[in-house]
Structure 1
Amino acid sequence: MSEQATPAEGFDALRGLGTAASEEVVREPKIDAQGRAYATGKRKNAIARVWIKPGNGKITINGRDQEVYFARPVLRMMIAQPLELTDRAGQFDVIATVEGSGLSGQAGAVRHAISKALTYYEPGLRPVLKPHGLLTRDPRVVERKKYGKAKARRSFQFSKR
């Protein structure tokens, strides 16, 4: 009977296994034959496909320059956010095709895709982008309209008589 391990000793053995299993996973860069990293980003109903490659910082969206496609400075700031956080502004050329939703949703989708593509190109950038929520797909979408309602939740005007 004295040879059996106490429950506390069993847990100590399991704790030792946990440290070996929780070691950081080494990620390999995902770069194609042309030296580009590809990623897809989504926001609302917008889907963005982005390729990044080393360059001088030119951002092209649907064949147009970012200043032309996203006229509002706030949207251009959103797109540049992952590049600025990682100190890679001016080091990568970004080519994006985006469709669906409105301009704000498209900017969010491009930002998500650029963040993912940066982590594919340089896996070491993941700890920088993750705390800022740039690698998380924002799940909020427009609620559908229900029958018997004017909109998703708005009722028709009440008439007493």
Structure 2
Amino acid sequence: MDQYGRAYATGRRKDAVARVWIKPGSGKITINGRDQEVYFARPTLRLVINQPFGVAERTGQYDVICTVKGGGLSGQAGAVKHGISQALTKFEPILRAPVKAAGFLTRDSRTVERKKYGKAKARRSFQFSKR
């Protein structure tokens, strides 16, 4: 908790990193200075972001301000979800059990596999030519 009554947490997914602040409010979510409907145009991404509030039964009770960098939109949505979950448990420690049971506190460690030499991509070989 900081001097403004906000809880802070960092969320990560793939290459995306989200810095999240939550405070009691009307349920407004701001990402990089833009509203969630503008930043995450796809409804599925907005659904992902609001999952922690649904599990904790706190929909529309917290305002979220976050900055997110790196990765694509899907990874960024996952990072924001992870950050919101962490911040919720810091704000209300009693919510840790339901949020953890839903698996939102675990950082999804799956990342893109690196490209190897002698290969076209990470695992794909070059086309075989007999002659």
Instruction: Give the structure-1-normalised TM-score.
Output: 0.81
Q: Where is the strand percentage greater, Structure 1 or Structure 2?
A: 2
Q: 2:116 aligns with which of 127, 146, 150?
A: 146
In 1, the alpha carbon distance for the partners of 2:93 and 2:3 equals 18
Please say which structure displays the higher CA radius of gyration. Answer: 1
Deviation at 1:33, TM superposition (A): 1.1
Q: Residue type matched to 1:87 in 2?
A: E
Q: Specify the alignment match of 1:123 in structure 2.
A: 93
Q: Distance in 2 between matches of 1:84 and 1:61?
A: 19
Residue-by-residue CA offset, 1:124-160 (whole Å, 9 max, x unaligned): 1000011111000000000000000000000000000
Gaps of 5+ in 2: none
Cα offset for 1:32? 1.1
Spell out structure 1 runs of 4+ moving beyond 6 A.
none
Instruction: Pick the aligned partner of 1:48 from 18, 21, 33.
Output: 18
SS of the equivalent of 2:83 reads helix
Mapping 1:6-155, distance limit 5 Å: 31-155=1-125
Contact 2:55 2:102 in 1 (8 A): no
Using the TM superposition, give the Cα deviation of residue 87 of structure 1 relative to its aligned residue in structure 2, in angstroms. Answer: 1.1
| CA distance, structure 2, for counterparts of residue 56 and residue 129 of structure 1 | 21
How many residue pairs are counted as aligned between the two chains? Answer: 131
Structure 1 segments unaligned to the other structure (5+ residues): 1-30
CA RMSD of aligned residues (A): 0.4
Cα distance in 1 for partners of 2:100, 2:8 equals 18
Identity among equivalent positions (%) equals: 73
Question: 1:84 offset after TM fit, Å?
Answer: 1.1
